[in-house]
Amino acid sequence: MPTAYTLPIVDSGLYMSFGPSSPKSLEDALADPLGTVELTIRSYNDRELPAEIGMLKNLRHLSISNSQLVELPVEICSLISLQTLSVRGKLNDLPECFSDLQNLRLLNLSENDFATIPIAVYELQNLLELSFENNGI
C-alpha cells in the first residue's frame, strides 16, 4: 500500500505527497497515477490545477493550501476515491459535477472567497465534516 512522498515541483511552489520516501518529479507521479493516494500542494501560484489531476484515480486525500486557485478543474470530479479534500485559496464556486464525489467524508473550504455554500455540497451524502470558515458567508 502506498504511503507518502514529498515532492517539490521546480518553479511552481508545488509540493506533493504520494508514496514512501524520496522526492520525485511530477512526471514520475503521473507515470504511476494509480499509486498516488495522498497529495499535498502548498503555495501553488497558478489559478487552476492541471487537468491531469483527474488521472489520480486512487487519490484519497487532497490538501491544497496557500494557493491562488480560483477554480477546481472538472477533472477533480473523476477522483471517486477521494475521502478528504481541503482547499485554501480563492475559490468562489465548485464544478457542477462536484456532487459525484460521493466518497468524500471531510470537506474543508475555509479561507476562500465563497459567498454561499454551493448546492453540490448538499448532495454529498457521505459527508461527515464540513468547514467554510473565513469566507464571505
| 17/42: higher pLDDT | 42
Q: Where are the domains of the chain?
A: 7-131
Cell numbers describing residue 14: 508545488
pLDDT band at 22 (very low <50, low <70, confident <90, very high): very low
Which tens digit of pLDDT belongs to each residue from 105-115?
A: 999 999 999 99
Predicted confidence at residue 26, as pLDDT, reads 47
- Grid look-up 497515477 returns 33
**Which pLDDT does position 12 carry in this prediction?**
39
CATH of domain 7-131: 3.80.10.10
The single-letter DSSP state of residue 11 is T
Q: pLDDT, tens digit, for every residue of 42-95?
A: 776 888 888 998 998 999 998 888 889 999 999 999 999 999 999 999 999 999
Contact 112, 88 (CB under 8 A): yes
